[in-house]
Chain A
Amino acid sequence: MKTFRVFSTFAFFTGFLTVSFSSSIGTETFGSAAERSPASTQPLAESVRAPFANAKSPLVTQVPRSSLWPSPSERWLFRFERIISAEYQSKSWLAMKLGGRVALESAGTHGENHFYQMTAETDRLEMEGTPKNERRSFPPIRLEIDRAGKLREMRWLSSKAPTSEDSDFMKDLASQWLFFEPTSRLGVAEVEWTENAVDSEMRSISKRMKRYRDRPEISKLDSTHEWIARSHGNPGSSESGYRVERIEGVENFSIPSANGSFDQKTSYRWLWTGTEKVAVLAQAEIVGDALTVSGVEGAEAKPAPRVDLAVFAKEWASIGKLAPADRLRYFQLVKRAMDGGQNEIVSVLVKALSGKLAGSMEWRTSIGALAASDNPLAASALVALYQEERRGSAEKISILAGLTSGEGQPAPEWKKILEAEISAPVDSASPNDSVREASLFALGSTIRKELEPARRQALEDLLWKEIKETKTEVGALSLLEAIGNSGSAEYLPFVKEQFFSADAKVRAKAVSAVRFFTNDVARSIIEPARRDPSPIVRKAAEWSGRFQSNLAAN
């Protein structure tokens, strides 16, 4: 499985860039100088005329999903343009413009989560004033949006590994579309939202990033974004609603340095150009040895199962007595009911853990269920269980193992807990050392699962800190395991360094550590490892390679 998280890296567009935005609204051309007008001369507030009548409740809830995302039978088409420029020490450093088309369409459902496919191509590129008209298509990506409207993950749909440039480009586009996220590639921002009615048919929502709390060095911040939807169809008819008409944004700022400041300006603009009807026909295709079906979905998903609480509380107390297959089916049912929002199950599970030993089947199944669910209450319960004073090492390790291997989204509180456990003094004879090591493995896994960019960055920094402080071989082995769990190529320099160790055991762990890395990065370690004189290193290469094949296949 290849998963990309929005905002994680933006090497292609980040750097220190600036932009003076200009565009040709509503046309298919990049625009001549006469057609263009800098965005900075068109303040977004100009379009604001009157506040929306009922703008008191949280903003995002006022935008129905049908306005944000296409229905299963629609493909929304947009023209996009992006202008980027940067100056360093008041000298031009980069000036780039590009434009193209984006298509967005529904790609199925999973429970209450929805998938959308984004396809893009560029047809205008201008670098340092020199235009180049060349059409370039990018591998499509799939966005998974959960029931709260939040991005769960981004995934490439192409079996071929994308280049890092392609990856950055598509992530950048996706981040523009995901307008309602209060974050940007710079971090978590303090956001000021404004909702307005432009006229009777058009509504506008503006987002202003006031400051990035973790980036105090950023100055002269001018980060304004606007989302505009227009009503269509006859009011009251099934075809009526709002459609995204335009999104645009400007982000200008400076980063002072000793030799002069970097001044960055970027802007983007998307314009709706049409809606295509998508034919709802089954398209089944066997790729390799797996069946893929596209273009069709059930119009209505089966609701999540609900558990009869009275029966459940009674039966779960003796879950250990069930036959393994029956127990696992029950476990799966309970997980899905929690995923579906049946919060009461969480307290029953917590009660069922009382007095149970960490190795008991009741404990393991209940912890597994809490860790497997993406119910936020279950995630919080796992934290609370861990923090109970009576908790012994064996129970802590079991909870950490659940956190590491579970599918659920980890609670944010884990960062502090893991930090405290990892920074405990090293003493290999103490049971606390096992907790420390399990915490390190859990940290790696938590990095992999964390979608919120600032939190992920903080977790990555924590692991970096450990890497810098660890000097022993045993410590390096644990770190390689944590990196392996993280799947983050951020740590490639450390992995490469360890890969040249004289100790075969260390080399084997270094090869294992790249199993979840993207194919192109992992290949640089796995391929030489296949020819390593040590059999355990070759075996590790074979094992890592299997995960890589899965990434490509998924």
Chain B
Amino acid sequence: MLLLPLLVWGVSSQFASAGEATSPDSLPESIPASLSESHAVFGGRTSVSYGLAPVDPTFESLPPTAVGPQQTTDWVGFSGMLSTMLFGKDRSILETRAGMTDLLEGESDLYWGGFRVFSSKPAFIDGSYQISAGLPSLSMRIPLFGVPVGPVTVRIDAGIAAEAAVTAKLTPLIAVPIQFTSVRAEMNPHVDAIGFVEGYAKWIAVRAGVGGSLNLVSANASVSGVLSFGAKAATFAYQGFIGMLAAKIYGFADYFNPFGWKWKRAWQGNFAEWPGKCYSFGPVGGSDPCASFKP
């Protein structure tokens, strides 16, 4: 409980200085609670939201006056979140929270594709309480829809495939006197998600298709914090990178030429092409991780 006001204060001050959008080309010192990138395609929105925060952002977003006196909570920790919207259909991919007190009790929340999958019990390894969760790869399809490509309406098969591994660590740094004791906490979700889009239709003498390559997100960013028992303010730091929504979606239409008895390309073009955005929080392995993020 002693940690709570310190942590909330620390988070608030951190976010207050991180309110501006982060330029992909710069090397930011901090990031906001969540990043998102959005584009329109086929009349629907395609976007990615990724969040990694030291504490549940609800603390900041809900004014205490709205519901009477503010009540404290014993939940203090980190949360990570990834959701995407593909052609207007919203999908939650990953929701994870590891509370600092809960971590010791083995109560971490982990939702994968909207389902609670398991609780990762902490193990005391090398002086730290650690939890780790390597998740089976996930596939989610989105409801069918169609898009006119030339003279044919193409039925689209679209969806998301994702993989993730999450680790969280809590390391007590005991010191005497007790007020100099601190706790180092860290969460590192490693998440990758791609979107797939494929459509094909053949109608007597016409055929058309849609294809795409969507790197929805590639993230290997960690957030860590050091919390003292009264002597110092809490501090937080991010490391790693987050690349979002690099994509190319194309279409083609062919007609059958009975004279040559073969198909001829009547039209081809791109519905959308996005270079994506990559946020880097310090070099990883001596190289810029954003250099390899492309559609």
Contacts from A to B (Cβ < 8 Å): 1, 108-111, 115, 282, 284, 286, 288-294, 296-302, 323-325, 327-329, 331-332, 335, 358-361, 364-365, 367-369, 371-372, 397-402, 404-407, 428, 431, 434, 437-438, 441, 444-445, 481-482, 484-485, 504-505, 515-516, 531-536, 538-539, 542-543, 546-547, 549-550, 553-554
Tell me the bound Cα distance from A110 to B201 in angstroms: 11
For A302, what are the chain B residues with a Cβ–Cβ distance below 8 Å? 198-200, 209
Tell me the bound Cα distance from A539 to B121 in angstroms: 24
Contacts from B to A (Cβ < 8 Å): 42-45, 56, 58-59, 62, 67-69, 71, 73, 75, 87-92, 95, 106, 112-119, 121, 132, 134-141, 143-148, 152-155, 157, 159, 161-163, 165, 192-194, 196, 198-204, 208-209, 215, 218, 292
Q: Are A434 and B121 in contact (CB under 8 A)?
A: yes
| Chain A residue at minimal CB-CB distance from B60 | A535
Tell me the bound Cα distance from A536 to B143 in angstroms: 32
Tell me the bound Cα distance from A398 to B134 in angstroms: 8
7 additional A-B residue pairs with CB within 8 Å, beyond A328-B193, A535-B56? A298-B153, A298-B208, A329-B161, A404-B118, A405-B136, A438-B117, A554-B89
A454 to chain B, nearest CB (A): 24
| Chain B residue at minimal CB-CB distance from A291 | B43
Interface of A is mostly: helix
The verdict on A547 contacting B58 (CB below 8 Å), with A286-B43, A289-B44, A324-B163 known, is no
Tell me the bound Cα distance from A335 to B137 in angstroms: 11
For B154, what are the chain A residues with a Cβ–Cβ distance below 8 Å? 298
For B43, what are the chain A residues with a Cβ–Cβ distance below 8 Å? 284, 286, 289-291
Q: Are B115 and A290 in contact (CB under 8 A)?
A: no
Tell me the bound Cα distance from A382 to B136 in angstroms: 12
Tell me the bound Cα distance from A153 to B65 in angstroms: 45
For A543, what are the chain B residues with a Cβ–Cβ distance below 8 Å? 95
The verdict on A291 contacting B161 (CB below 8 Å), with A332-B196, A401-B118 known, is no
Q: Are A364 and B155 in contact (CB under 8 A)?
A: no
The verdict on A535 contacting B62 (CB below 8 Å), with A291-B42, A297-B146, A438-B117 known, is yes
The total of interchain contacts (Cβ-Cβ below 8 angstroms) comes to 229
* Other-chain contact of B203, A300, A402, A434, A535 (Cβ < 8 Å): A300
The verdict on A550 contacting B137 (CB below 8 Å), with A289-B45, A298-B202 known, is no
Q: Are A299 and B134 in contact (CB under 8 A)?
A: no
Q: Are B116 and A485 in contact (CB under 8 A)?
A: yes
Tell me the bound Cα distance from A111 to B198 in angstroms: 11
Q: Are A290 and B194 in contact (CB under 8 A)?
A: no
Q: Are B118 and A372 in contact (CB under 8 A)?
A: no
Q: Are B139 and A368 in contact (CB under 8 A)?
A: yes
The verdict on A397 contacting B73 (CB below 8 Å), with A290-B43, A302-B209 known, is no
Q: Are B139 and A332 in contact (CB under 8 A)?
A: yes
Q: Are B144 and A539 in contact (CB under 8 A)?
A: no
For A549, what are the chain B residues with a Cβ–Cβ distance below 8 Å? 90
For A504, what are the chain B residues with a Cβ–Cβ distance below 8 Å? 71, 73
